[in-house]
Amino acid sequence: MKPFDPKKIISYLRSSGIAATLTLIFLMTIVSVVFALRINWVTEQKCYSELTASTAEARSGLESNFRSDKVTLRMLAKMLAEDEDLRAIESGGMLTVYDVNSLISELGILTPENEIIRFRGYTVDADGIMDFWEEVEYGEHIGALQPSVSSPDVRVIRSFVPIRRNNTPIGVLYAEMRPANIAKMWSPEIYGGNASFCIIDRSTGQFIVNSWETDKDEISDLGQPGLTSEILNGESGFMRLDRGDGTFISYMPMDIENWEIAVAVDESVVFADATTMHRSLRNFLIAQALLFIAYLAFMLYTTRRSITNTEKQANMDALTGLQNRNRYEEFVRGIGEKTRGLSCFYIDANGLHELNNSRGHLAGDQMLRFMADALKVAFGEETVYRIGGDEFVVFQYGKDFKELRKKMRQVQVEMVRNDYHASAGLCMFEEVSTVKEMIKTAEERMYASKKRYYDERGLSLRSSAPEEDGEEAGV
């Protein structure tokens, strides 16, 4: 076929307007991309401002709420310290007075006897739930998530205030707060109430309150090491997480225990107003990108597959699937100082030449494949090499002579069962001084074993087929 004239092709493109159309499409694509990026940038900046403000607002409100609770608990603890007997408290009245905060779901007193006096009117053994002296040692504090006293299947936060009389602890007042109630009360109102928030204990990485990823227990469970590191280090920041459709999150430390608060919103919510504006444009760009990605992926796949197949063919014996002489020589060169516990088998198939002459090369190939499979099973395919027509080499580490001899016996017995035979020579590196000498010694021992095999049958090497007596060949 006569090749096209480049001048005619250029002239056709100009006359038909295709070149101008392509140029226009290119310019429109550039403008569209810039416009879309500008919309995204403005939307993201707005998200940053709103999330940061919402996080600060929630932090301020929660800190104020917890401080107020702490002050009230202190006052209540002082009142309780004036009573002669904590068990004789008018609990119903106390609870009615204090029940001004819907976050509090339970009030109780932990006694030195490690019993819980509940304001509901009865006592509970605190063993396995709380420890009096441990809570006293911590002083005023907020504990980690623990099962509720009244509902063990519900996890709660407890705020503790010691009750002291003459500087002696006579009890610990605690208030239980359910994380679900905190999440409900302080749920962010931005983005139509579609934002979520969580509180993380930086000491443990545990979610204290979590209306965001409710199936996760710790911040590390999100699989976001960058975010995890920032939060556990008490940093403030704003981040986009590449998970799902994307998530924006703002986080900052709290002045409560060792906590960090974070407010998150899905990217789909953030860009809801902008979606309609550039949906068609985005679909067009995505289609172009997908075509390019598909082409690129195809090229990478075919190239990688070609390289892999080429390397595999270059290093694998086509008949047996074992590593070939190239890999064998590469391994030998790479041994270097790694000779401790090294051993070498040199193996040769007996009667291959005679089998090829009597039954054809297909039968000989079948024998070699069987022998290769037996060696792979016994020693592992990563250590077995076919280095010649009927010659195989096996390297092993950390095996003693008796164990190696036993493995080779198993290979030979399996071959004899199928009317095949092989001779092998074994050399341990400790017997010699170099790897080359070890391989050579193993080869010489193999030939000595092979000679014994033929001598026992009254045959000469490569002159006649062995008798089918089923006798094992020696190592």
Regarding whether 428 and 379 lie in a shared domain, the answer is yes
Look at phi and psi of residue 469 and say left if phi exceeds 0, alpha if psi is from -120 to 50, else beta: alpha
Residue 302: domain span: 271-309
In a domain, 470, yes or no: no
Length of the chain: 475
By C-alpha distance, which of 37, 36, 52 is closest to 248?
52
| Token couple for 288 | 């172009």
Look at phi and psi of residue 462 and say left if phi exceeds 0, alpha if psi is from -120 to 50, else beta: left
Regarding whether 452 and 329 lie in a shared domain, the answer is yes
In a domain, 238, yes or no: no
Q: Per-residue pLDDT tens, the chain, 475 aa: give them.
A: 445 555 544 554 455 555 566 676 777 778 777 877 788 788 888 888 999 999 999 899 888 888 888 888 898 888 888 876 676 655 445 544 455 455 788 888 999 999 988 765 578 888 888 999 999 999 999 888 888 888 888 889 999 999 998 889 999 999 888 888 888 877 788 888 888 888 999 999 999 888 888 888 899 998 899 999 999 999 999 998 887 778 999 999 999 889 999 999 888 888 877 777 766 666 766 676 666 565 545 554 565 566 566 667 778 888 998 999 999 999 999 988 888 999 999 999 998 888 888 899 999 999 999 999 999 999 998 999 999 889 999 999 999 999 999 999 999 999 999 999 999 999 999 999 999 999 999 999 999 999 998 888 877 655 433 333 333 333 6
Of 180, 205, 226, the residue that ends a domain is: 180
Which CATH number covers residue 111?
3.30.450.20
DSSP 3-state of 262: strand
Question: How far is it, in rounded angstroms, from Cα 128 to Cα 146?
Answer: 11
Q: Residue 255, class by beta-carbon neighbours within 10 Å (0-12 exposed, 13-18 middle, 19+ buried)?
A: exposed
Tokens 């391989």 appear where?
A: 439
Q: Count the domains in the chain.
A: 3
Residue 412: partners with Cβ closer than 8 Å, 6 or more residues away: 421, 422, 424, 472, 473, 475
Question: How far is it, in rounded angstroms, from Cα 149 to Cα 176?
Answer: 9
Q: Is 367 within 8 Å of 420 (Cβ atoms)?
A: yes
CB atoms within 10 A of CB 84: 7
Which CATH number covers residue 403?
3.30.70.270
In a domain, 263, yes or no: no
Residue 237: partners with Cβ closer than 8 Å, 6 or more residues away: 230, 250, 251, 252
Regarding whether 344 and 305 lie in a shared domain, the answer is no
In a domain, 404, yes or no: yes
Q: Residue 290, class by beta-carbon neighbours within 10 Å (0-12 exposed, 13-18 middle, 19+ buried)?
A: exposed
In a domain, 422, yes or no: yes
Q: Where are the beta strands (DSSP E) in 129-246?
A: 141-142, 146-147, 155-165, 168-177, 196-201, 206-210, 237-241
Sign for the CA dihedral angle at 75, 77, 78, 84 comes to positive
Tokens 């007997």 appear where?
A: 85
Regarding whether 442 and 392 lie in a shared domain, the answer is yes
Q: Is 320 within 8 Å of 389 (Cβ atoms)?
A: no
In a domain, 195, yes or no: no
